[in-house]
């Protein structure tokens, strides 16, 4: 499995911010009056967009024509014309890269540039109940689009921030290492006694190599990164120099999209705003601002926290208290009920979008139809990751659930397995005597695999896609 540096597993439920640009070939017409739910019964009238993608697919020997209409307010509708079916969502466009579509089911689809036909192509799986399901590819001609070269490299150099935070010999040392687009890197230390140096870097075969510089000349130190695809984390060794003596440190950078939760309430007559910032793969900060900020209360009420992820739930530990988010699969939004404790207590309802581990999918039809999700439960003795493939049916008694102690109670249709990383970085899941190899899309950063659940009533085939980290 080959991956561009920086295009690692991106959370499926979290979308990247992109700048919208218009291609040259868009016609002008009316915008829609609003999104239509995909399960409505009344006849759907196609609302023309400012431009559209077109394509067709064949499912069970029946041909379906599809049109994806994009509107000025950055929403879209994907119509299955002869089936009275529509999928809605939002989109963005990045010059030189292409389109990103976020569907109502939280699926994130990036367009692929076809240089031969000079077209943007978008592939999405449409589901027509008993009539079956299948992928449809719709395309948009764009004669003036120019694809950027090395966009993944540029994005990584711009976004990567390697961080080190540890107490060493009684001193709290915080270091940041930043890659610059000109091929150099810079370092910053919070402690004057701990000196750090910059230098140059290069990327070859998905490996980052730093050459440290002192007094405008190589120091002789060269540092090489390693990458963990399960946690989506790069680790980079380095040195700090305390009174001239070298001490080893280890920088880390998690490529998943970190998120925030926000909320406000009245605190002593002024708005008290809290922003929960996800700092890395285990630490978070409850950042408090009172009124317009700049008061002693801002730091006084800040709360450091640790967290773990259980499926799509975040469990924050603040002191001796635990707070657990609730996740809405429709909106992709997390909510958290939090109490700020002082001489008085203040209750908050915090909301936002956070990255979350999980592959999700849908399989079967009719009586055997079900949603599925894949969660990491923890490491096992063999060094792999224990996972559970959850069957999310309408009957809650068949669904598994997380317990207060963090353990998972298996559901009727759930299956446990082991996620393993091969030497070449590829991933596989072993469930019983079956091995599922995960494929990775370099452009979207998304993993996928085809899952088969065999039961007494029949077999459910499902495709699960998403990001992998914990």
Percent of the chain whose predicted confidence (pLDDT) is above 70: 73
Looking at residue 72, its pLDDT comes to: 94
CA distance 253 to 143: 38
Looking at residue 379, its pLDDT comes to: 54
DSSP classification of residue 271: E
pLDDT value at 439 more than 80: yes
pLDDT value at 231 more than 60: no
Mean pLDDT of the 88-117 span: 86
CA distance 189 to 317: 28
Partnered with residue 241 across adjacent β-strands are 195, 246
Asked whether the beta carbons of 288 and 271 are under 8 A apart, the reply is no
Nearest to 187 by CA among 163, 220, 221: 163
Give the other-Cβ count within 10 Å of 222's Cβ: 12
Nearest to 225 by CA among 194, 254, 247, 197: 254
Give the other-Cβ count within 10 Å of 438's Cβ: 19
Looking at residue 298, its pLDDT comes to: 65
Phi, psi (degrees; rounded to nearest 5) at 366: 60, -130
CA distance 53 to 305: 46
Dump pLDDT digits (tens) for 61-98.
Answer: 999 999 999 999 999 999 999 888 899 999 999 888 78
CATH topology of domain 260-352: Lipocalin (2.40.128)
Looking at residue 19, its pLDDT comes to: 31
Q: How open is the CA angle 378-389-277, to the nearest 5 degrees?
A: 55
For residue 241, count CB atoms less than 10 angstroms from its CB and return exposed for 0-12, middle for 13-18, buried for 19 or more.
middle
CA 56 remoteness from chain centre? 29
pLDDT value at 407 more than 90: no
CATH class, range 17-147: mainly beta
What are the residue ranges of CATH 2.40.128 in the chain? 17-147, 260-352, 358-467
User: Which of the listed ranges 178-192, 212-226, 304-318 does the model predict with the highest average pLDDT?
Assistant: 212-226
Looking at residue 68, its pLDDT comes to: 97
For 299, the enclosing helix (H) or strand (E) is helix 296-300
Dump pLDDT digits (tens) for 411-426.
Answer: 888 888 888 877 777 7
Asked whether the beta carbons of 287 and 301 are under 8 A apart, the reply is no
Looking at residue 8, its pLDDT comes to: 31
* From the candidate CATH numbers 2.40.128, 3.30.200, 2.60.40, 2.60.120, the one assigned to the domain spanning 358-467: 2.40.128
Phi, psi (degrees; rounded to nearest 5) at 139: -135, 155
pTM comes to 0.37
3-class secondary structure, 215: coil
For residue 396, count CB atoms less than 10 angstroms from its CB and return exposed for 0-12, middle for 13-18, buried for 19 or more.
exposed
């Amino acid at each position: 499995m080959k991956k561009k540096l920086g295009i690692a597993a991106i959370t499926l439920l979290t979308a990247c911010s992109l700048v919208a640009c218009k291609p040259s070939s868009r016609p002008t017409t009316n915008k829609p009056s609003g999104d239509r739910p995909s399960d409505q019964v009344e006849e759907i009238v196609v609302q023309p967009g400012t431009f559209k993608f077109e394509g067709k697919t064949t499912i069970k020997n029946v041909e379906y024509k599809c049109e994806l209409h994009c509107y000025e307010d950055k929403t879209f509708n994907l119509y299955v014309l002869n089936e009275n079916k529509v999928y809605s969502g939002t989109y963005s466009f990045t010059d030189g890269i292409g389109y990103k579509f976020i569907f109502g089911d939280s699926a994130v689809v990036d367009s692929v540039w076809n240089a031969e036909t000079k077209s943007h192509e978008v592939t999405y799986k449409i589901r027509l109940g008993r009539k079956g399901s299948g992928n449809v590819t719709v395309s948009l001609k764009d004669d003036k689009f120019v694809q950027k070269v090395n966009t993944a490299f540029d994005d990584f150099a711009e976004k990567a921030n390697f961080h080190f935070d540890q107490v060493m010999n009684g001193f709290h040392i915080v270091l940041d290492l930043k890659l610059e687009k000109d091929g150099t890197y810079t370092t910053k230390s919070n402690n004057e006694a701990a000196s750090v140096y910059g230098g140059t870097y290069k990327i070859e075969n998905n490996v980052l190599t730093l050459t440290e510089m002192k007094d405008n000349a190589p120091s002789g130190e060269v540092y090489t990164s390693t990458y963990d695809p399960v946690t989506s984390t790069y680790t980079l060794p380095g040195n700090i120099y305390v009174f001239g003596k070298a001490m080893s440190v280890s920088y880390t950078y998690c490529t998943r999209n970190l998120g925030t939760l926000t909320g406000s309430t009245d605190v002593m007559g002024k708005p008290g705003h809290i922003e929960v910032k996800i700092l890395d793969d285990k630490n978070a900060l409850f950042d408090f601002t009172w009124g317009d900020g700049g008061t002693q209360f801002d730091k006084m009420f800040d709360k450091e926290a640790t967290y773990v992820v259980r499926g799509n739930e975040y469990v924050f530990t603040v002191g001796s208290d635990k707070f657990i988010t609730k996740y809405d699969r429709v909106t992709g939004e997390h909510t958290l009920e939090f109490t700020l404790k002082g001489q008085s207590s203040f209750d908050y309802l915090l909301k936002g979008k956070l990255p979350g581990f999980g592959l999700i999918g849908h399989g079967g039809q009719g009586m055997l139809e079900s949603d599925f999700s894949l969660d990491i439960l923890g490491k096992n003795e063999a060094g792999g990751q224990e996972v559970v493939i959850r069957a999310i049916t309408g009957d809650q008694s068949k669904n598994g659930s997380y317990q207060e102690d963090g353990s998972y109670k298996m559901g009727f249709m759930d299956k446990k397995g082991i996620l393993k990383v091969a030497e070449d970085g590829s991933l596989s899941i072993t469930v019983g005597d079956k091995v599922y190899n995960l494929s990775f899309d370099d452009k979207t950063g998304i993993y996928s695999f085809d899952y088969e659940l065999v039961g007494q009533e029949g077999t459910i085939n499902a495709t699960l896609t998403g990001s992998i980290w914990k």
